[in-house]
Structure 1
């Protein structure tokens, strides 16, 4: 019998969405937001550090096709996480749900899925968040912070603290999502995103990750949240927000 080493499937797929279009300027040259260095550490590296203690994981990064080659982003990803996969997406991808779906369809659907947006940072170890979601036997979960601004996605809860509705760019509650979404199975997200697209449930032509929770709610899945102190959430969607983060206590 020919002995071969069989690669074990990961417990969790970590999907980092780093294909945002905002650029930062450095020495008269524009670079992708994910390469922005704050106190000498890039946004991409900070995200990896936040998830470093998550065991038995497989990383996948999404990058814009036009930037992946120009800025050697695939090499950057494998330097940060040896063995990481990369998915290149077109400029005209219709929102984060479509981008995530493009990558997630290639992953082990039985494994958990953690989706992380690279234009937001949280000051928390994500392994602790995931362990809490697992302990609560949730089917999905997200980090939230208090807000009423329509720039964010939101979830509404029932009396038991479980998600019963999600909305994009519409404050249906005080619980805004922080760009971190966990699914007990990758298949839950894949099916939810496909149904979202079939129903044409877009916002201004784009499909987003948060509203996929609505598809899980219809299937009576148990979706929870973990509240995050607003001082531990850092949006990085404008140059002003990047400057604010650079001046924060987090280094």
Structure 2
């Protein structure tokens, strides 16, 4: 049961991640097209330069995405795309670099390079200038990728921190991460009681996603068989 629950959570996570990135990068792409008429010599030129750098980086990001969207692209094209994203992740302007780093992490995971993905997600989580939603996403992905390898106490602390961000886009999935920890093989009755409490909270939450509420309710209905 716990394995099925984790699989469903991962599917929800992937869908939510794509929606969040689409919304946030859509806003970014729209913003870089708006250049206000600002007087003031050097200040105006500096502002123009920043907008231009953002525009160029955004264009490069989307062009690279289009390359990967081509069903005929080969490994060489994939490698070039990853290199472009990696360069943007390090040298790109604020905003674009975080999106690029998230793409690098995705590609690392597809190549079964978990360590590389973790490093890329960590760079976003640590970037104080990155969008807060993206930082939360990176934090969640870090925890999710290390579910079977990291110290459970470390995972629990990380999930709890995200879950406490009431209304945050990753709060409900973080709570599900806590449930998964409490239903691990070898868990105690106290763990199961805590899982039941969290599931009840999720099932009745006004801010959790519909998927989270449905999974919580379904697991509660069969919770007597969970241990």
The TM-score with structure 1 as length reference comes to 0.24
Larger helix fraction of residues: 2
Larger radius of gyration: 2
The TM-score with structure 2 as length reference comes to 0.25
Q: Which has the higher contact order (CA 8 A, sep 6+)?
A: 1
Larger strand fraction of residues: 1
